[in-house]
Structure 1
Amino acid sequence: MTAFVLVSGSHTGGWIWREVTARLRESGSEVYPATLTGMGDRRHLAGPDTDLETHIEDLVRLIDHVDAPEVVIVGHCYGIHPVLGAADRRPDRIARIVHLDAGLPQDGDAALELVPDQAVRDRLRQSAEPAGDDWRIPAPSRDAWQRWGSVAGVSADALARLDRLAAPQPSGTLTQPLRLSGAVSELPMTGVLCTGNGSSIALVETMVGFGEPRFQALTDPRVSLFELDTGHWPMLSCPDELAEVLLGAAAGKGHRVAATVSEQPAHLRPFLMEVPERRRERVGRVDLHLPDADQPRPAVVFVHGGPVPPGTRPTPRDWPTFVGYGRYVASLGAVGVTVDHRLHSLGDYGRAAEDVAEAVELVRADPRVDGQRVALWYFSGGGLLSADWLAAPPPWLRCVAATYPVLAPLPNWGLADTRFRPAAAVSAAGQLPIVLTRVGLERAEIAVTVEEFLTAAKDCDANIEVVDVPLGHHGFETIDHTEQARHAVDHAVRSVLGHLRS
C-alpha cells in the first residue's frame, strides 16, 4: 500500500487537501495531509523560534509513524523545502518526492531567496525581520493571492476558504537555509507543472537544453513530469485531476526528458533560411552584422529572451537564430545588431534593461549607423523589456518588433508590481509601428499574454501588424523549416525595414 504525505505551501495547512485526500483514500491509499507548526489549526503552537528546522522535524515525526512500506511525499510551493529536508533524513522511507508547482531548492537555499522579484523579496525580508512580537509574515489579503501564484480555476467559494483559513507564516521558515546531506538526490522524483501558473514541460526541456545545472537532474530516468492545465492551487481548482496525477506519479508514470537531451538542443539547430555570411564586428556584449554600404544605414537591434543561465555556451548572440536574423538584415542593407544582455534569472529584468539601453546607445553612436533610424526586436521572455520603449518611445525609434514574445509577466514570475508590462505600456506608444510575429502552436501560458497585449493595443488603436505562423512553435526558426515559417520571417523583416526607411 502507498501512503501519501501532503505538504502545502505558505500560510496554509492540511485543510487545503480535503478533496484530494478523499479521492486518494477512495483509491485505497493512506493519506496524511500535514499541518506544520504554526499553520492551520496549529497556528497557536508557533513562536519566534519556529523555523524551517521545526517544519522538517514535524515531517520526520510524521514519516516515522507511517506504517505503509512506500511513502510518496508531496511538497507544494514552500512545502517542498521541509519535504526535501525530511526526505534527506529518512531516504529509506521515501519511495518518491513530488514537486507540486514547486521549485528545485538546493542545499543552502532559503525559501525567501528563491522569490524571483527583488522588490517582493525585499518586502518579505523586511516583514521577516523580527521586531518584538512581530515575527510572523501576514497572509496575503484576498485580492493579493494572485501575486503569489495564479488562482486560475479556483472557485469563489474555495478562494474565500483560502482567505478565511490562511495563517501568518513564522518568518524563520522562510529565512533559514535548507540543509541537505545529498541523500535526497538519490530518490525518484516527479514534477507536477501547472501551466496556468507559467510552468510547462516545454519550458523545463528548454532549460535542460541550456545546460542549467539545477535542471540536469531532471534527465535521470527516475524523474517524471506531469502537466495540469490550471493555476497554482490545483488541490482547490482540480482535485480529481490532481489525485489521478499523484497516483500516476506513485506508479512511476509521467513524461521523461532524458530522451530529448541527447539530441542537439532546439536553440542550436540551423536557422530556417540560407543566409550568406556578412562582416561581423564584436564590441563588448554587442555584435554588428554590417551591410555593404558607404553611408550610415538604419539598424535593427535583436533582443534575446530568457532567462538564460550565466554559464550557457554559446551565448545567445552566437545562436543560429540571432546570427541568422542579423545576417539577413545586413543582406538587405541595414545593420543587424545582436546583444548578450544579462537576463540570467527572473530577478534580472532591471539589469537586462540597462544592458539593452547601453547597447542601443553604442549602436546609435557608431558612424556606420543612422542613429535616427533604429528598430528594437524582442524575442520570447525578452518581450517584457519592450515595455520601457513602448511607454516613452524616443523619436529615433521607428519600430518595435516582437516574435513569440512574453508580453506580461507569467503568474509565477513574481513580477506583478514591476514596470515590465508591455500590455500596460502600449497605450503610451502612440502610432509607433509594432510588428508582432505570433505562432499558432504557442505555449498556452505565453499565448494568454499575447492576447492580453493585442486586446490592449486594439483598445488604444495602436499601429500594430500581426504576422501569423499558424503551424509555428515557440522558437520556430530552428524547429519549423517550412515555407510558411520562412515566409513569416521574410515578411516580418521586410516590414520592419520598411518602417525604418519610410
Structure 2
Amino acid sequence: MTVFILVSGLFTGPHVWDDAVARLTAEGADARAVALSGLSGARTAAGAVVDLETHIADVLAVIDSVGRPGGGEIVLVGHDYGIHPVLGAADRRPGQVARIVYLDSAMPQDGVPASAALPDPRLRARLAGADGAGSGSDGAGSGAHGAGTDLPPPARGEWQLWGSTAGVPDAALDRLTALAAPHPLGTLVQPLRLTGAVASVPVTGVLCTGSGTTISMVQTQVDFGAPAMRALTAPGITFFELPTGHWPMLSAPAALTKVLLSAAAGEGHRLTAPDDARPPAHLRPFLLDVPGIDRERHADFDLYVPPTAQGPLPAVLFVHGGPVPPQAHPAPRDWPALTGYARSVAGRGVVGVVVEHRLHAVSEYERAAADVAAAVERVRADPRVDADRIALWFFSGSGPISAAWLGAPPAWLRCLAANYPVMAPLPNWGQLDSRFRPVDAVARAGSLPVVLVRPGLETAAITATVEEFMEAADRAGANLEVVDVPNGHHSFEGVDPTEESREAVRRALSIVLHHLTRGSRAAGAVQTDPHDAGR
C-alpha cells in the first residue's frame, strides 16, 4: 500500500487535506496529513522554539511510524512551504521514501531559508533583518521566533497575495481563513540543511498553471542551460500540470488525487535536454529571411546599422524577456529571434538594437529596468541615431519593464511594441513593485502608438494579464493596435514558424516602422517591405 504523507504550507494544517485524504483512501491508499508544530492547534512544549528543524522532526515522526513492520511505500508531498520540512526529512530517511512530490512549491536548496521563496520582497527583507538581529551563530533564526513573533495569517481577501485562489469555492476560502494560524517565524529564517542524500529520491513536480508556471516554462529554463535546471532532466523526475490555482487540494481535489496516484506510479511528463538535432525554440532560426548585416558589439547592447543609409537614423531597441539565468548560453543578444528582428529593421534603413539586461529573477525588475533605460540613453547619444525617433519592443517577461515608458512616454518615443508579453505580475510572483504594472500604466499612455502581438495559444496566466491590459487600454482610449497569431504559442517565432506567424511578424514590423519613421529626418531612407504592397 502506498502511504502519502501530506505536508501543508504557510498558515495551514491537516484540515486543508481532508478531501484529498478521503479520496486517496477511497482509492486504496493510506494518506496522513502532518500536524506541524505551532500550527492549527498542534501543541508544543511551553517556551519551546519552533523552527524548521522542529517541522522536519514532525515529518520524521510520521515517516518512522509508517516504517514499522507492515508499513507501505512512502510518498512525501510538500505544498508551498511544506516542501522545506519534506526535503529535510527525506534527506535523513532517503531509504524509506519512494518519491517526493513538489506541489506548486519552490525548489529549495541547501543553506537557503524558506523566507527566500516568500512572495513579498518587503517581507523577505524584514525577515532577513529579523534573522540577522535575533539568530545565534548557527543561523537558525531562533532569536526572532523566541521573541514571540509569528507571521500573521492573511485576511480573507488577502490569500491571493500568497498564491492564486482560482477555483477555490467561497465556503472553502471561508474555512481556510477561519482555521488559519500564525506561522512561526523561526521555520522561515532557519536555513534548510541537506547532506545530499535526498538527491537519490525520485521526484515529481506538480505545477498549478493558475499560479503562472507551466511545464513548457520549466522546459524553457532547462533550455537556457543553467546546471540546476538541467538536473531536472534526470530519469527519476516527472512533471504534471493542474489547471487550477495554488490550493488544488481545495479547488481540484479529484484531479489532485489522480495526479498523486499517477506520480506514485512514476508517471508524468519528462523534460528533455536540448541537443544539436533539435535545438530549443529560442535557438531555432528566425522565421523570416533577413540580410546578413554585421553587428557592432557594445557592453550591454548590439547595434545593427544599415550599411548604406545616411544618418542620423531612427532606431528600434529590442528587449529580451526573462527571467533568464545568468549562466544562459548563448546569451540573449545572440538568440536568433532577436538578431533576426534587429537585422530585419536594419535591412529597411533603421538601426536595430538588441539590449541585454540583468533580469535573472522576478525580484530583479528594478535592476533590469535601469539597464534598459541606460542602454536607451546610450543609443540615443550615438551620432548615427536620430535621438527623436526611437521605438521600444519588449518580449515576454520584459513586459513589466514597459510600464515606465507607457506611464510617461517621452516625445522621442514614437512607438512601443510587445510580443506575447506579461502585462501584470503572475500569481506566483507575489507583490511586484507597482512601477512594473503595464495594466495600470497604459491609462497614461496618451497617443503613444502601442503594438501588441498576441498568440492565440498563449498560457492561461499570461493571457489573463494581456486581457486585463487590453481592457484598461480600451477604457483609457489608448492607441492600441493588436496583431493576432491565432495558432501561435508563446515565442511563436521559434515554436511555430508558419506562414501565419511570418505574416504576423511582417505586419508588426511594418506598423512599428510606420510610426517610427513618420516625419523622421531619415524617413526617405526607410524601405518598404514588398509584402506591404496593396495594404
TM-score by length of 2: 0.91
Question: Distance in 1 between the 2:293 and 2:373 partners?
Answer: 25
Taking the TM superposition and a 5 Å limit, the aligned residue runs for 1:70-469 are: 70-115=73-118, 118-125=121-128, 130=144, 133-258=147-272, 263-291=278-306, 292-469=308-485
Letter in 2 for 1:118: P
- Pairwise CA distance, 1:94: 0.3
Question: Distance in 2 between the 1:117 and 1:355 partners?
Answer: 23
- State the number of aligned residues: 502
Question: Does the aligned pair in 2 maintain the 1:46–1:170 contact within 8 Å?
Answer: no
Letter in 2 for 1:210: F
Give the stretch that moved more between structures: 122-131 or 20-29: 122-131
1:36-64 CA distances to partner (integer Å, 9 max, x unpaired)? 00011216658562100111011111100
Question: Does the aligned pair in 2 maintain the 1:91–1:187 contact within 8 Å?
Answer: yes
The alpha-carbon distance between structure 1 residues 259 and 286, as it changes in their structure 2 partners (threshold 3 A), is: closer
1:368-403 CA distances to partner (integer Å, 9 max, x unpaired)? 011011011000001111011111111111111000
Letter in 1 for 2:88: G
Tell me, what secondary structure is at the counterpart of 1:112?
helix
1:102-151 CA distances to partner (integer Å, 9 max, x unpaired)? 11111111111233653342244457663874321111222211111001
Is 2:483 aligned against 1:480? Answer: no
Letter in 2 for 1:94: V
Question: Does the aligned pair in 1 maintain the 2:6–2:31 contact within 8 Å?
Answer: yes
Question: Does the aligned pair in 2 maintain the 1:85–1:180 contact within 8 Å?
Answer: yes
1:260-297 CA distances to partner (integer Å, 9 max, x unpaired)? 66731111111101111113111111111101322201
Tell me, what secondary structure is at the counterpart of 2:349?
coil
Question: Does the aligned pair in 1 maintain the 2:49–2:146 contact within 8 Å?
Answer: no
Question: Distance in 2 between the 1:70 and 1:446 partners?
Answer: 38
1:456-498 CA distances to partner (integer Å, 9 max, x unpaired)? 1111111000001111111111222211111111110110010
Give the stretch that moved more between structures: 43-52 or 156-165: 43-52
Question: Does the aligned pair in 2 maintain the 1:56–1:86 contact within 8 Å?
Answer: yes
Question: Does the aligned pair in 1 maintain the 2:145–2:186 contact within 8 Å?
Answer: no
Question: Distance in 2 between the 1:474 and 1:208 partners?
Answer: 16
Question: Distance in 2 between the 1:133 and 1:394 partners?
Answer: 51
Question: Distance in 2 between the 1:163 and 1:449 partners?
Answer: 27
Match of 1:11 in 2: 11
Give the stretch that moved more between structures: 470-479 or 128-137: 128-137
Letter in 1 for 2:51: D
Question: Does the aligned pair in 1 maintain the 2:222–2:273 contact within 8 Å?
Answer: no
Tell me, what secondary structure is at the counterpart of 1:496?
helix
Question: Distance in 2 between the 1:140 and 1:267 partners?
Answer: 40
TM-score by length of 1: 0.97
Identity of aligned residues (%): 58
Tell me, what secondary structure is at the counterpart of 1:438?
strand
Unaligned runs of 5+ in 2: 135-143, 519-535
Question: Distance in 2 between the 1:43 and 1:330 partners?
Answer: 68
Give the stretch that moved more between structures: 94-103 or 274-283: 274-283
Letter in 2 for 1:113: A
The alpha-carbon distance between structure 1 residues 54 and 132, as it changes in their structure 2 partners (threshold 3 A), is: closer
Q: Which has the larger radius of gyration?
A: 2
Question: Distance in 2 between the 1:127 and 1:400 partners?
Answer: 43
Tell me, what secondary structure is at the counterpart of 1:17?
helix
Letter in 2 for 1:176: Q
Question: Distance in 2 between the 1:415 and 1:357 partners?
Answer: 23
1:214-270 CA distances to partner (integer Å, 9 max, x unpaired)? 222210121111100001000111111111110111111111113766731111111
The alpha-carbon distance between structure 1 residues 246 and 497, as it changes in their structure 2 partners (threshold 3 A), is: same
1:48-87 CA distances to partner (integer Å, 9 max, x unpaired)? 6210011101111110001423000000000000000000
Question: Does the aligned pair in 1 maintain the 2:50–2:145 contact within 8 Å?
Answer: no
Question: Does the aligned pair in 1 maintain the 2:38–2:183 contact within 8 Å?
Answer: yes
Tell me, what secondary structure is at the counterpart of 2:422?
coil
Question: Distance in 2 between the 1:36 and 1:132 partners?
Answer: 17
